[in-house]
Amino acid sequence: MENFGFACGLSMLPVMARAHRHDDVELALPRGGSAVMEVAGTPYAVDEGRCAVFWAGVPHRLAEVGRQGEAGTAVAWLTIPLVDVLSWSSVPPDFVSQLLRGTVATFAAPPTMAPAMSLLAEEIDAGPVPRAAARREAEAWLLRAAHGARAAAGGRAPEPGSRSARTMASWVARHFREPVAVADVAAVAHLHPSTARAAFRRELGVTITEYLAQCRTAEAQRLLMSSDLTTDEVAVRAGFGSTSRFYARFVQDVGMPPAAYRRRMR
C-alpha cells in the first residue's frame, strides 16, 4: 500500500495503467474536462465542475480523461489520512461508513475550490501552524462533501479491450469474501484462465490474485475499524480463510499487525 498522508496538489495526470491503494480519503477534482475514476473495478463518471470523494483504501485508478486528451487531465486532489477523518466528529459517521463500503460520491465544486487546494498545498509544507489551518480547511471540505454528495453515475462504456478486465475486477470486488480461484474469475468473462490473467494484468497493472488480496485487505481494514470482531473472525469475514495468511498479507499491505492498526485507527 502506498503512503500519501495529508497532501494536496494540482497535477497533470495520465490514464493510470495500474490500480493502486492508500489509506486515505481522497477528493479529486478534474479541471478543464471530465474524467472516469475506476474504483473496485467499477467506472464512475466525474463531470467537469464536480469533485469525487472516495476511500482510497480500495483499488482505484484514473481510467479515462475528457477533452484534454490521452496525455492526461489536470486534477486538483486532496488526500486525508483515514485516521484523521475518523477523529473529526463534524463529519457524519454515516457518510464515512458509506465511503468505507466503496461508495463513490460527487459534489458540486465551487469555483474557489481549486485555488483553495493550491493554498492548502502551500500551507501543508509551511510549518505546524499553517498545517493545522490546512487540516481545518480539509475538514470543512469533507463536511461540504458530506452535505452535498450524491452517488456517482456509471462511467462511459469501456473500450472492448478493457471490458473483460472491468467485468472481472467488478466481480472480484463483489465476491472476494468467498473462496475464489482464477478459473472462477475467468469464467465470468467467458475467457480461458491464461487469457484472463493476461487481459487483467494488461488493463489493471496487477494480477487477479493480487487484486483479490487487495480487496480482502481493504475489507479487513474496514472491519477492524468498524467492529469488535476478533482477528480470527476478521480473517474469515474478509475472505482470507486462515489467520496466518491474513496476518502476513495485512502486515505486507498496511505495514503493521491488525491489532496495532485497530488501536491506531481508534
Nearest-5° angle of CA 52, CA 29, CA 266? 50
Domains of the chain: residue spans and CATH: 7-151 (2.60.120.10), 160-265 (1.10.10.60)
CA 118 – CA 137 distance, rounded (Å) = 12
Distances (CA, A) of 106 to 7, 24, 124, 211, 237: 20, 17, 24, 25, 29
Distances (CA, A) of 32 to 149, 154, 217: 21, 20, 35
Query: How many C-beta neighbours within 10 Å does residue 157 have?
Result: 8
| Highest-scoring range by mean pLDDT, 13-27, 30-44, 71-85, 187-201 | 187-201
Report residue 187's pLDDT band, with 50, 70 and 90 as the boundaries.
very high
Confidence check: pLDDT of 22 > 90: no
CA 142 – CA 120 distance, rounded (Å) = 14
Lowest-pLDDT choice from 59-73, 155-169, 187-201, 250-264: 155-169
CB 247, CB 258: distance < 8 Å: yes
| pLDDT tens profile 108-120 | 888 888 888 888 8
CB 32, CB 53: distance < 8 Å: no
- Closest to 145 in 3D by CA, of 76, 77, 95, 74: 95
Provide the 3-class DSSP secondary structure of residue 154: strand
Report residue 208's pLDDT band, with 50, 70 and 90 as the boundaries.
very high
Mean pLDDT, all residues of the chain: 84
Give residue 215's identity as a one-letter amino acid code: C
* Ranges assigned E (strand) in 123-184: 150-151
**For the chain, what is the radius of gyration of the CA atoms?**
18
pLDDT recorded at residue 162: 61
pLDDT recorded at residue 157: 43
Give the torsion sign (CA, 234, 240, 246, 250).
negative
C-alpha cell at 74: 489536470
Mean pLDDT of 244-265: 91
CB 166, CB 203: distance < 8 Å: yes
| pLDDT tens profile 231-253 | 999 999 999 988 999 999 999 98
Length of the chain: 266
